[in-house]
Copies of this chain bind each other. A is one copy, B any other.
């Protein structure tokens, strides 16, 4: 199916500010609450949030094979469970409804009043009910940096890293939407050379600059998803801050992996940008040497050129951008991650989420965590106000940004933001 919604020449009758993340070429999906307390499933164009459940009931999707409840309820899971062709058809239809030359909805004031909302008046909610969340560790630069710091610079990558998109299961319950405030976690840590751990607030809270993808019902238990079919089971992507308490993690994680150092909170951006919308921004992924095993051998360009940035804003202060990275640096692609995840027959469901792992670029100003930017505290980072950071301070707000741009079109993810409150 042609993705007519991606046409760079499309224009809309809705107002779209210059450099908006949400031009008519984006059309992401999300869930929001309006001032009357109603939870709505919708999209966003410019600064207008659009209730797709209302549009469906008004007949705007009548000839598309959508279930009755596709845009009702409080999550996108039912819509995501539809076939990929339906996602494409709905997004194309939204582009058509809001096209500058289409007066059908525009001329019906009562329909507009029912379905359109100023984003300043809505509250974004989690877009999907996330069943299982998996976090990968797929940036070679990040894996090399942490291996260099904590183990051996000569053998920074562990033996399995170049063969496996290493991943582990994370916690779904504590995934929150951008804007949610986070408490500094408490837990056990152990001082260098100490024999006994102590209990208290983590001193080393960090962000992790990640992106994540949301899947549909990809396979039944016992079946595998082929690497070159994998993208058909990915609905879209969000920006993702997988907060970390480095000191808690260090003491707990051998041998079974990260646990309380990670599961106190993870923040995602509210609008799921579809794989359709990202299609124009495909690029080649880094060459893989050694060649991976056959089930991981992919054809075509499976990376995406998504520009990333992270800023810290102290309480009542100004933001300092600390890092500029790019999703295209990822060594393992989403297709390889999903193929690997299912190669043992593990079933993946609509609304499951898989994180990329920290996305670090090749240069020190493109690292995706404070751990790397301040190099384990040895090179504190300076903020614009003159203060320094080794990790995140209480009442700092961490904000992540992501956008793609080419052919005069720029689409973005909106903010992924969270403030770190002092320990409770």
Contacts and interface: CB of A to CB of B under 8 A. Distances in A.
Interface of A: 131-132, 137, 158-160, 163-164, 166-174, 176, 182-183, 185-188, 190, 196-199, 202, 221-224, 245, 248, 251-260, 263-265, 290, 293-295, 340-341, 343-349, 352, 424
Contacts of A196: 163, 290
Main secondary structure of the interface of A (DSSP, over half): loop
Nearest to A166: B256
B260 A258 contact: no
A252 B188 contact: no
Given A163-B188, A169-B263, A196-B290, 12 more contacts: A160-B254, A164-B251, A166-B252, A173-B347, A173-B352, A185-B344, A186-B224, A199-B294, A221-B265, A255-B257, A257-B258, A264-B346
Contact of A168 (B163, B187, B259, B290): B259
A248 B160 CA distance: 11
Contact of A293 (B197, B221, B265): B197
Nearest to A130: B131
Which of A259, A264, A265, A294 has the most chain B CB within a 10 Å cutoff?
A: A259
Contacts of A186: 224, 343-345
Contacts of A223: 424
B258 A256 contact: yes
A252 B294 CA distance: 17
A127 to B, nearest CB: 17
A256 B252 CA distance: 11
Specify which of A131, A224, A344 lies most central, judged by the most chain B CB atoms within 10 Å of its CB.
Answer: A344
A163 B248 CA distance: 13
Nearest to A147: B255
A386 to B, nearest CB: 31
B352 A252 contact: no
